[in-house]
Amino acid sequence: MCKMEKITLRNITKAYGKNPPVIENLNLGIEEGSFTVLLGPSGCGKSTVLRMIAGLEKTTAGDVLIDGISVRDVEPGDRNIAMVFQNYALYPTMSVRDNIEFGLKNMKVGKDERNARIAEVAEMVGLTEYLSRKPANLSGGQRQRVALARAIVKKPAVFLMDEPLSNLDAKLRTQIRTDLIELHQRLKTTFVYVTHDQVEAMSMGTDIVLMDQGTIQQHAAPAEIYASPANVFTARFIGSPPMNVVPAEAAHGKAPEFVSKVGFRPERSHIVRPGEKLSEDTVLIDGNMLAREMLGDQTQYKMETENGTVFVKEFKDDLIDYGQHQIAVKLADIACFDMQGKLCGFGLQKE
Interacting residues with another protein (CB under 8 A) = 54-56, 75-78, 81-83, 85, 87, 89-94, 102-103, 106-107, 136, 150, 154, 240-242, 290-291, 293, 300, 302
Q: Which is nearer to another protein, 154 or 330 (CB)?
A: 154
Q: Are 262 and 336 in contact (CB under 8 A)?
A: yes
Q: Which is nearer to another protein, 159 or 337 (CB)?
A: 159
- Other beta carbons within 10 Å of 338: 17
Q: Shortest gap between Cβ of 9 and another protein (angstroms)?
A: 19
Residues ≥6 apart with Cβ < 8 Å to 2: none
Q: Shortest gap between Cβ of 76 and another protein (angstroms)?
A: 4
Q: Shortest gap between Cβ of 85 and another protein (angstroms)?
A: 6
User: Could you give the residue ranges of the DSSP H alpha helices within 36-138?
Assistant: 46-54, 96-106, 111-125
Q: Which is nearer to another protein, 130 or 237 (CB)?
A: 237
Residue 165 and residue 176: Cα distance in Å, rounded?
8
Q: Shortest gap between Cβ of 86 and another protein (angstroms)?
A: 9
Q: Shortest gap between Cβ of 136 and another protein (angstroms)?
A: 6
Q: Shortest gap between Cβ of 102 and another protein (angstroms)?
A: 5
Task: Report how many helices (DSSP H) and strands (DSSP E) the chain contains, helices first.
Answer: 8, 19
Query: Beta strand 190-195 with 158-162: parallel, antiparallel or unpaired?
Result: parallel
Residues ≥6 apart with Cβ < 8 Å to 291: 301, 302
Q: Which is nearer to another protein, 7 or 259 (CB)?
A: 7
CA proximity to 10, closest of 89, 76, 66: 66
Alpha-carbon distances, residue 130 vs 139, 150, 236, 251, 347 (angstroms)? 11, 14, 43, 61, 57
Q: Which is nearer to another protein, 7 or 248 (CB)?
A: 7
Q: Which is nearer to another protein, 150 or 325 (CB)?
A: 150
